[in-house]
Amino acid sequence: MNYDFEGKETSFKKKSRIKIGFIILFFLLAVLISMIINRFVLEIALVEGASMEPCLFSGERLIVFKLAYAFTEPKAQDIIVLHFLPSDGVEKTENTMNLEYIKRIIGTPGDLIDLKYQQVYLNKDLLNESYAQGVTRQKKLLYPMEIHNNHCFVMGDNREYSRDSRDIGLVSTKYIIGKAVFRIWPLTKIGVIK
């Protein structure tokens, strides 16, 4: 009986190379898929600051669904992540243009927004805002204001500590990154965002 130890070793090396090649291919494919998902479908956002309290607190992490408005329009009460738009008095720099805000949509195209007596009126009806805290001041804009096409009126829930549409005006829907749908941190508060 003759044994071909050299042939077995060569066969073993080929199988090992094939396995390593599959592992590398699998890893590269996983990285590519995660990059595509992060770029076009989901993003993790960090809440910074107090503007969305008591709903969201600084340090919390959220999943943002970027395709939420691909086939539907933004709706009032949605919590969204949007690109910061420098307003008057704020220099447009690379740092300010890359900021992201987390806000609640108050009004959508065709709605009439009015802020009077420290209350919000939507289409002439007093808006029930159980989620809001603090005094709702008018700030820079004139009211009532009709929201035109492809724009939203957004505010933070913590009205005294929020820079929002009252400061920067209506927000174009093209600056909306996506809808905040799920809180993933802290683990004690994990769940759907309402």
The answer to whether 180 and 192 are in contact (CB under 8 A) is no
List the catalytic residue out of 58, 66, 75, 103. 103
Gap between the Cα atoms of 192 and 194, Å rounded: 6
Show the tokens assigned to 166: 């009252």
List the catalytic residue out of 13, 14, 15, 51. 51
State residue 102 phi and psi, 5-degree precision: -115, 120
Cα 65 to chain centroid distance, Å, stands at: 7
The reply to whether 51 belongs to the active site is yes
Cα 63 to chain centroid distance, Å, stands at: 7
Of the candidates 179, 68, 155, 56, the residue with the CA atom closest to the CA atom of residue 107: 155
Say which residues have a Cβ less than 8 Å from residue 76's Cβ, sequence separation at least 6.
105, 106, 107, 108, 111, 122
HSE toward the beta carbon, residue 14, CA cutoff 13 A = 6
Catalytic annotation, residues:
51, 103
